[in-house]
Structure 1
């Protein structure tokens, strides 16, 4: 399943592997480097065609000032927070409860129910576009925060249930047997035993969900229309002009939008790594 380690006796192969890794890393980081450079440029420097060269004139402070004074990016940023934070919390609560039941309290049809939870993740989003939009229109929720929140909670709960079920199933059976022997109810077992043990998994899942929902663009343009409820991804697209686009300002806005998920990852990096590896093996 995993590639075999390259022995030290084959320095040529090891050097070739290292060169390949660095090549892929550079290619992956190249667009980010271009955005950072463009955020430093002046509008005149961008219009002169200097896209990849070192900026001849820099105005990073002016570009970021323009983001907050000439655009509605703060409003889009607030909309994303209003949509993302409640959605993440709701998915964490629902997936923890469903994962606990499906892993520790199986019942007739639980396997089919679990398959139903994760089935939607195997279908392309475009398949749901018209039905979901028509559903939100019929419910009177189109172009509201609730439209995006309901969809993200419904769609992400399937993946999160798979994630949490595997982690809870990896916990030792002896813990649950001892708790039941002491007369603990399923609710007490969940709150007092399971939750403290799966905190790293919850942290890892929270980072993944926050990133998925925060960076969503497709549903942001399908389920919203006015700037009053648009999240940052749709707001960034609005910064493009009809004839001329201030790419220096757009690049600065892009860096500003990327701050929350990057900051959240670095603040919870230790929990993220331990959470991803906690349920890797069972036994």
Structure 2
């Protein structure tokens, strides 16, 4: 089922494997490298059609400064933070509560509710576009950050509940029995027993949900219209001109948009890896 390790004696197989890894890595990094290189180009280079050659002029400071001074990128960036941070907090709270109840309490309909959470993950986004937009129009929430926050919390909670339910279910029953024997309430048991033990899982989930919501483009376009509400993903499309596009500014804006998820991952890398490997080894 799993690929066999390449023996040390098979020198050519190991070399071919390393070569294949390098080729795949280069192919994967080529678009990113091209965007970074374009963000370094001067306006003269772009207007002269030098989009693929080595830059004849470097305009790093000018490009990245212009992204925030000549475009509404600062507004888009703030909108994304306003949407993403409350959404992540809401998803973590709801999924932890739901996962705790579904994993530790048996009641009629327990598995049905869990199946609904899981099944919701298999619905394509596109089939919900018209109903969700009509609902937000009727609630008078269209073109507001609240619309995106409500949708992301509702949609991401299904996957997050599946994630947290499995982690909490893997905790030893003896811990919860001891908490009940000490007279702890269900909420006290969750707060003092479950949450400290699944903290790495919460960190991993926070990074995943943050990345999903921050990088969302489809719903940002469907539920927002004005620049005062659009997040960075939808705002990047507005940087294209009707007749001429400043590709150096668009590339610089793209790099700026990609920074927060990358920074968050590296800051919480230890917790992220611990959360993904939590429970992998038993004993």
Sort the TM-score into its range (normalised by shorter chain).
Answer: over 0.9
Task: Tell whether the 8 Å contact from 1:170 to 1:281 is kept in structure 2 after alignment.
Answer: no
Distance in structure 1 (CA, Å) of the matches to 2:99 and 2:37: 45
**1:67 is the counterpart of 2:96:** no
Please name the residue that 1:126 is paired with: 126
**1:180 is the counterpart of 2:144:** no
Give me the TM-score of the superposition, normalised by structure 2.
0.97
Alpha-carbon distance, 1:280 to partner: 3.5
Q: Write the mapping of 1:1-283 to structure 2, written as runs, cut at 5 A.
A: 1-280=1-280
Moved more, 12-21 or 99-108: 12-21
* Residue-by-residue CA offset, 1:236-283 (whole Å, 9 max, x unaligned): 000001111000011111111111111111100000000011043567
Task: Tell whether the 8 Å contact from 1:121 to 1:158 is kept in structure 2 after alignment.
Answer: yes
Distance in structure 1 (CA, Å) of the matches to 2:53 and 2:3: 38
* Residue-by-residue CA offset, 1:46-73 (whole Å, 9 max, x unaligned): 2333223221111100001111111000
What is the RMSD computed on CA atoms of the aligned residues? 1.2
Aligned residues: 283
Task: Tell whether the 8 Å contact from 1:129 to 1:222 is kept in structure 2 after alignment.
Answer: yes
Alpha-carbon distance, 1:14 to partner: 1.5
* Residue-by-residue CA offset, 1:126-166 (whole Å, 9 max, x unaligned): 11111100110011100001110000000000000011011
* Residue-by-residue CA offset, 1:87-133 (whole Å, 9 max, x unaligned): 00000000000000111112111111011012121121111111100
Secondary structure of the 2:121 match is: helix
Distance in structure 2 (CA, Å) of the matches to 1:2 and 1:46: 48
Distance in structure 2 (CA, Å) of the matches to 1:196 and 1:245: 50
Distance in structure 1 (CA, Å) of the matches to 2:124 and 2:280: 27
* Residue-by-residue CA offset, 1:203-234 (whole Å, 9 max, x unaligned): 00000000000000000000000011000000
Distance in structure 1 (CA, Å) of the matches to 2:128 and 2:142: 15
